[in-house]
Amino acid sequence: MLTGMRTLIGERPQGDGLALAEWGGVHDALDRGAEAVEPYRLALAAGLDAEHEHQITLQLASTLRNLGQHDQAIELLEHLDAPELGDAPAVFLALALHSAGRPNDALRVALTSLAPHLPMYRRAATDYAAELAPDDESTGGRQSISPSAVPRRASPSSQ
């Protein structure tokens, strides 16, 4: 797989952002995340259209989380404004927060993301999410995430 991808990438101009992103992606697909980080970063630095930039940012953040670099993953995901990805950024942010030992913040993000999709009990889910103790109070001083930092997408109207 790597050999085939290397051949395809060789057909692209050197420093091509999409080629670099694909090179990172093939490493991720082969469970070689540590080798995916640099190509992802280079792809983002090379410049991508907004859709690919958002996808690669999400993939990089997921890879960083899997490598135990939770704070870097959280930082990327908290600032990712990518409505075309739906709730995926919030899902991966919740995973990163959980991996970072911030379970209440993770649950808050997950509930805040899920609530707009509920046909009933939307307000209750939103209220319960807001009532969760911030992890900075419950886990020894770690910074908490506010509901306003949850990555947003176009959502159905509230009930």
> What's the per-residue H, E or C state across 46-68?
HCCCHHHHHHHHHHHHHHHHHCC
pLDDT at 154: 46
Tokens standing for residue 30: 């082969």
- Sign of the four-CA dihedral 31, 32, 34, 37: negative
Domain ranges, residue 121:
73-153
Collect the ranges in the chain with pLDDT lower than 70. 137-159
Instruction: Return d(Cα 104, Cα 123) in angstroms, integer.
Output: 19
Q: Answer for the pair 82, 152: CB distance below 8 angstroms, yes or no.
A: no
What's the rounded Cα separation, in Å, for the pair 93 and 69? 13
Query: What pLDDT shows up at residue 139?
Result: 46
What pTM was computed for the model? 0.83
Angle, alpha carbons 109-100-103 (nearest 5°): 45
Evaluate whether 55 touches 44 at the Cβ level (below 8 Å): no
What was the pLDDT predicted at 143? Answer: 55
Within a domain: residue 139? yes
DSSP string over 66-91:
HTT-HHHHHHHHHT---GGGTTHHHH
User: What pLDDT score was predicted for residue 157?
Assistant: 43
Answer whether residue 125 is part of any domain.
Answer: yes
In a domain, 15, yes or no: no
Residue 66 inside a domain? The answer is no
18 domain residue, yes or no: no
Question: How high is the pLDDT of residue 145?
Answer: 62
Count of domains forming the chain: 1
Confirm whether 6 is domain-assigned. Answer: no
Residue 54 forms part of a structural domain: no
Cα angle vertex 156, ends 93, 54, to 5°? Answer: 35
Quick check: is 117 in a domain? yes
